[in-house]
Amino acid sequence: MFTADIDCLTNGSPYSKEAKKFVDFFSNLSEEEDSFFIRTYITYDLFHKIEKLQTKEFSVSEISKILLSEIEVAKILANNLEIYKDKIDFKSLSKEKSAFDEITKEHYGKLFENFSEYHYYEEAFELLKTRFNRNSIVIDNIENKVALDDGCGGGRYTLALKKMGFKKVYGIDWSVINLKTANYRKDLKNIENVEYKQGDVLKLPFEDGKFDFVFSNGVLHHTVSIQEGLREIFRIMKSGAQGFLYLMEKPGGVHWDVVELLRLVMKPVNHQYARDLFKMFGVPENRIFYILDHIMVPINTRLTPKELEEILSNIGFKNIKRLTRGVDFDRVENIYNMKNRDDIIWKYGVGENRYIFDK
């Protein structure tokens, strides 16, 4: 299963024509192993160029120029690879044919396992603390509450929640690789009152009404059913408990347009090959995770705020509040600081779908 939803091809984006040319070029490029280098290099190059562009005031017309230039780079790479074709064993790069759930488990397991000390133990706590503070989120009596990190990955945010002061925090994930990483990192620092379990976020292995706080951060949009995942969260929350949710937004502006374009580019590529090539380029582990996170996972569902709020309300959640602030690099923070600009929707979309709510 593979999903792609490229807003800029259909929503009247100022760079829609160039995006269409980009899609057409890669749709006509071979999907065999000898195209993997071209596809992975363009992903590395385009992602970094767009990211650097967004660190300053920019015009959306610059996106058009970058997309066209990437097509020319890809053509040059393709022409030069012909020269070395008989010198490189492209066939040694086996394509992955696993079911989407197995690919997802392996993808995130490999991405999380080699985070640096800072990026594992400190960064997630700092991000969470800033987002909570800027949105005036207060968890009363936190020291007596039990929390769940629903889809914990390698456990970074599980430990961040414990550091925030919860009495106990559980982490649930379906990847054995992730749980091995999470337990190793927890034991390395002798962190107590943190417990990990293997399980499916669409069928949680907990009794009804167990948790005071449930944290779901960028997980359910990679599953076959966001609704089922949210119903499970509702089930295992106590009456009056709080929940925190992050899901991808639609429209998503330049960032998600580029991610979705690159999802099409990278669809045929072996996951381990992409990670290894990024390492060869000198990309740090946390950056490999950040770049390949959404680009190489099979399912990447995005919802409008209205769609998501209707789902939450229909399930029974109360006091649903969309967060309008974030850390400095969050799109919602850029929108907050650039009110009433005509080009905001093309640059930043509607900003991240982060919500706090009650049961």
The tokens for 10 are 């259909």
Task: Specify the pLDDT at position 5.
Answer: 79
Domains of the chain: 7-93+253-295 (no CATH), 106-250+302-358 (3.40.50.150)
Bridge partners, residue 173, by sequence: 198
More confident residue, 106 or 207: 207
**209-237 pLDDT, tens digit each:** 999 999 999 999 999 999 999 999 999 99
Single pTM value for the model:
0.86
Residue 94 DSSP class: P
For residues 147 and 213, the answer to whether their CB atoms sit within 8 Å is: yes
pLDDT in tens, 29-77: 999 888 999 999 999 999 999 988 887 788 889 999 999 999 999 999 9
Segment 116-159, tens digit of pLDDT: 888 889 999 999 999 999 999 999 999 999 999 999 999 999 99
Distances (CA, A) of 240 to 137, 215, 268, 277: 15, 15, 46, 48
What value does the mean pLDDT take over residues 94-117?
55
Interval 83-98 mean pLDDT? 62
Confidence of residue 239 (pLDDT cuts 50, 70, 90): very high
Strand ranges inside 174-249, DSSP E: 194-198, 211-217, 237-247
Nearest C-alpha neighbor of 88 from the set 28, 37, 41, 31: 37
Q: Is 73 left (phi over 0), alpha (psi -120 to 50) or beta?
A: alpha
Measured distance CA(159)–CA(152) in Å, rounded:
10
Mean pLDDT for the stretch of residues 238-263: 96
Query: Which of the pair, 177 or 242, is modelled with greater confidence?
Result: 242
In this structure, the chain runs to a length of 359
Q: Which two tokens stand for residue 242?
A: 């709080």
Tokens of 103: 């690919």
Please give the Cα distance from 81 to 234 (Å, whole number): 53
pLDDT of residue 89: 67
Question: Where do runs of H (alpha helix) occur along the chain?
Answer: 16-28, 36-53, 61-84, 100-112, 117-121, 123-134, 156-164, 176-188, 226-236, 253-266, 271-280, 285-295, 305-315, 331-337, 344-348
pLDDT of the residue at 97: 47
Round to whole Å and give the CA distance between 93 and 87: 14
The type of residue at 294 is H
Tell me what percent of the residues of the chain surpass a pLDDT of 70: 91
- Bond into 251 cis (ω within 30): yes
